[in-house]
A and B are shown apart, each in its own frame.
Chain A
Amino acid sequence: MAERLLEVNDLKVQFATEDGIVRAVDGISFQLERGKVLGIVGESGSGKSVTAMTLMGLTRGVNALFEGEVLYKGKDLLKVSDRGMQEYRGNELGMIFQDPMTSLNPVYRIGEQIAEAIQAHGKVGNRAARSRTIELLRQVGIPNPESRVDDFPHQFSGGMRQRAMIAIALSGNPSVLIADEPTTALDVTIQAQIVELVSRLKDDFDSSVIFITHDLGAIAEIADEIIVMYAGRVVERGSKRDIFYDPQMPYTWGLLGSIPRLDRPRPERLHTIEGMPPSLINLPEGCKFRPRCPHAFDRCMQEPGLENRVETPGHLDRCWLDVEFKRAHRDETISPGSVEAA
């Protein structure tokens, strides 16, 4: 069995604000093994970024409250001090952020910013750090790394900056690479390149990846397991196959329906999930997706647990609906055009 790198048990993250307590992450659990890619999918405000940043210890503050466990190689990172986390950040856990345009410091050269990450962990001389930086830039696919290493961020395109960010994240040979919506701010053609790059580098560096996105299409290629988050909870969890071919949660259908597909007849318009995600201060009673769910019925006033309701073991969901009913009706949401065509 592969080495279990990360185990998150019933993680809760709450922020005290003037308007009340924000339950950003409300009891999520998952495991990550070496070499695997875990996709975390959900809308804005579903708690996926907070989860990722909490793993890195970046959400700490006087207003933040944590419960549960984040076990990295058996050690609970929630109990490690902020100073102690410096050893993990960039070294054991690397992170890429959403917006490469603002994630690099505009006043320092690309090379300095990568070398800084290298030199933050272990004594590395300037010359060695520079040649390692050039090597990293080559690995992430920057052409002419010997000369581009001295460029400033504003001389890089968005895609190149994200590649530089990946170089920073990988500079410490991390076991876990956390990519928080790394493709959202990029052009579609660049998105595919970045996903492909992450997937390739994961093997080169023998690490595992947590890939966070709101776009299921982005991780269709690379994810081994997928977690669908809604209102700070896991609402469905399963292998890539489970999520794409046998989705059990109407929310997942909505996400799948909002991906443009080339292999199906083109619908009149892409599916949109009606309404807005709920306020995390004032969550609805029962199933959190109930107010937006077209199939909600009276039982949904009680919140369903995250359980295995289908034949495939390990495929969990939070939905009371009958499995056969769902299999019969989900295509109305996922690909409305094809139902009419059929």
Chain B
Amino acid sequence: MGAFIIRRIFGMLLVLVAVSLIVYLIFIVIPGGDPAERIAGKVATQANILDIRHKLGLDRHGFTGFFIQWWSLVKQLFTAKLVSYSDQTNVVSQIKQGLPATFSLSIGAGIIWFGFGVLVGTISAVKAGRFSDRLITGLALVGISIPVAWLGLMLRYFLAGEGGAVSWFPDGGYVPLTSNPWQWFYHLLLPWFTLAVLFIGFYGRVLRSNILDTINEDFVRTAKAKGLSNRRILVKHVLRASLIPIVTLFGLDFASVIGGGAIITETVYNLHGVGWYAAQSIYNQDLPPLIGVTLYGAAFIVVFSLLVDIFYAYLDPRIRLA
């Protein structure tokens, strides 16, 4: 177990290095103008630009130049000195500022989508073939198919703010939990729902088919032959086995959302989280924040995939971590 974790941590570092290299590579091959010109501003002299270019290592070309530029970027990032090209703000502190909104959004939405996904999947599997199953499966398909941006905008348009048909909800924005817990909750309701809908539909469908597969397993028949009640068979024997693949999905989806992946939801509801920051940096073609946000997100993905693997061994004793 210990050796497994150490090996995985080493692998995780390699993944992060590769991610940063790839993001950097993509950025320098897409057309987007010279960062030095951007940093220097509109009324810069040629000497000014050359000076910046030298500082950033942009005057060094070729293979070594690429690595020197990349390394200086990564080093600055990890020493929290990296600043944005467009407005010179510190990348690490900007990400830190986005954390409360992103964490609030993801944790709340994660609880909602996992809970409702399991509920929806279980109900439709138990009622398989009946009307309630068809209704739920149909709604799940709708949930999967609705574009998040459209759903978010529609909810805002009809339900939120002064301009809405009804103004039951505040029109976007984030209120810190520490300043007013009720307003925090109230402001997050629509974003949570918007983000969770897709996952509820998806998890519900996956779980439904897992349950229907598991119900035909021999060990479920054994459980029935023991004289256990249907509820106990469902909860203890069927759900336990059916949830294993859902745990993987949840680990990775949650990591991606908490890692700044809820770009659309954060943007639609004007939540200034990490995803929103990423969106801003993309508009500005601003490399340092992009590298920062990408590595932040990638770190969550690799950490959560490790957690999922460890949790797997707990769920299924046949899996040995070695």
Report which A residues bind B (CB closer than 8 A).
Answer: 56, 58, 82-83, 85-91, 94-95, 97, 99, 102-107, 113, 116-117, 120-121, 152, 154, 165, 168-169, 171-172
Closest chain-A Cβ to B236's Cβ sits at a distance in Å of 8
> Is B225 a contact of A107 with CB atoms below 8 Å?
no
Contact call A154/B218, Cβ cutoff below 8 A: no
B225 lies within 8 A of A89 (CB): yes
Contact of A97 among B218, B230, B318 (CB under 8 A): B218
A94: chain B residues at CB < 8 Å are: 225
- Which of B230, B315, B318 has the most chain A CB within a 10 Å cutoff? B318
Q: How near does chain A come to B221, taking the closest CB pair, in angstroms?
A: 6
| Closest 10 A/B residue pairs (Cβ) | A90-B227, A89-B227, A102-B218, A105-B219, A117-B226, A90-B226, A95-B225, A103-B218, A152-B317, A86-B227
Q: Which residue of B lies closest to A106 (CB)?
A: B318
**Complex Cα spacing A89 to B237, Å:** 17
Flag if B219 contacts A116 (CB, 8 Å).
no
Given the known inter-chain contacts A97-B218, A102-B218, please indicate yes or no for A107 contacting B317, CB distance below 8 A: yes
Contacts A107-B241, A107-B315, A154-B317; A102 near B219 (Cβ below 8 A)? yes
15 interchain pairs (CB within 8 A)? A88-B227, A89-B227, A90-B227, A90-B228, A94-B225, A99-B218, A102-B218, A104-B219, A105-B222, A105-B223, A107-B241, A116-B223, A120-B227, A154-B317, A168-B226
**B7 interfacial contact with A, CB 8 Å:** no
The distance from the CB of A310 to the nearest CB of chain B, in whole angstroms, is 38
At the interface, yes or no: B38 with Cβ under 8 Å from chain A? no
Least CB distance, A334 to chain B, in whole angstroms? 35
Complex Cα gap A172–B219 (Å): 18
Q: Tell me whether B316 is interfacial, beta carbon within 8 Å.
A: yes
Q: With A86-B228, A120-B226 in contact, is A103–B316 under 8 Å at CB?
A: no
Which positions 188-231 of chain B face chain A at CB distance < 8 Å?
A: 217-219, 221-230
Asked whether any CB of chain A lies closer than 8 Å to the CB of B55, the reply is no
A107 engages B240 (CB within 8 Å): yes
Contacts between the two chains (Cβ within 8 Å), count: 74
The answer to whether A89 and B240 have CB atoms under 8 Å apart is no
| Contact between chains at B227 and A103 (CB < 8 Å) | no
CA–CA, A172 to B241, complex, Å? Answer: 26
Q: Which residues of A contact B223 (CB under 8 A)?
A: 105, 116
Q: Which of B224, B237, B241 has the most CB of A within 10 A?
A: B224
Q: Which of A102, A106, A116 makes the CB contact (< 8 A) with B316?
A: A106
Docked complex Cα distance between A83 and B230 (Å): 8
The size class of the interface chain B forms with chain A is 20 to 34
Taking CB atoms, residues of chain A closer than 8 Å to B230 are 82-83
B223-256 interface mask toward A, CB cutoff 8 Å, 1 = contact, 0 = none?
A: 1111111100000110011000000000000000
B222-A103 in contact (CB<8A) = yes
| Shortest distance from the beta carbon of A113 to any chain B beta carbon, whole Å | 8
B126 to chain A, nearest CB (A): 14
CA distance A88 to B224 in the complex (A): 11
- A165–B227 Cα gap in the complex (Å)? 14
B95 CB, min distance to chain A CBs, angstroms: 40
- Residues on A with C-beta less than 8 A from B318 are 106, 152, 154
Partner of A86, one of B217, B229, B236: B229
Q: Could you tell me the distance between the alpha carbons of A286 and B25 in the complex, rounded to whole angstroms?
A: 79
Closest residue of B by beta carbon distance from A56? B225
B197–chain A nearest beta-carbon distance, Å = 31
Instruction: Write the chain A residue with the least CB distance to B314.
Output: A107
Q: With both chains docked as a complex, state the minimum distance between the C-beta of B243 and any C-beta of chain A, in angstroms.
A: 11
Give CA–CA (A78, B109) in the complex, Å: 48
- Provide the residues of chain A in CB contact with B222, threshold 8 Å: 97, 103-105, 113, 165, 168
In the complex, which residue of chain A has the Cβ closest to the Cβ of B317? A152
B227 touching A87, Cβ below 8 Å: yes
Q: Which residues of B contact A104 (CB under 8 A)?
A: 219, 222
Closest A residue to B237 by beta carbon equals A105
On chain B, the residues within 8 Å of A83 by CB distance are 229-230
Write the chain B residue with the least CB distance to A98.
B218
Q: Which residues of the other chain, A, contact B241 by a CB distance below 8 angstroms?
A: 105, 107
Asked if A103 contacts B221 (CB within 8 A), the reply is yes
Q: A83-B229, A86-B227, A106-B318 are in contact. List 8 more A-B contacts (CB 8 A).
A: A90-B225, A102-B219, A103-B221, A105-B219, A117-B227, A120-B227, A154-B317, A172-B227
Interface pair B317/A106, CB less than 8 Å apart: yes
Rounded to whole Å, the gap between the CB of B192 and the closest CB of chain A is 32
What is the CA–CA distance of A277 and B299 in the complex, to the nearest angstrom?
60
Are A120 and B240 CB-contacts (below 8 A) given A152-B317, A154-B317, A168-B222?
no
> Which residues of B are found within 8 Å of A102, using beta-carbon distances?
217-219
In the complex formed, the residue of B with least CB distance to A62 is B129
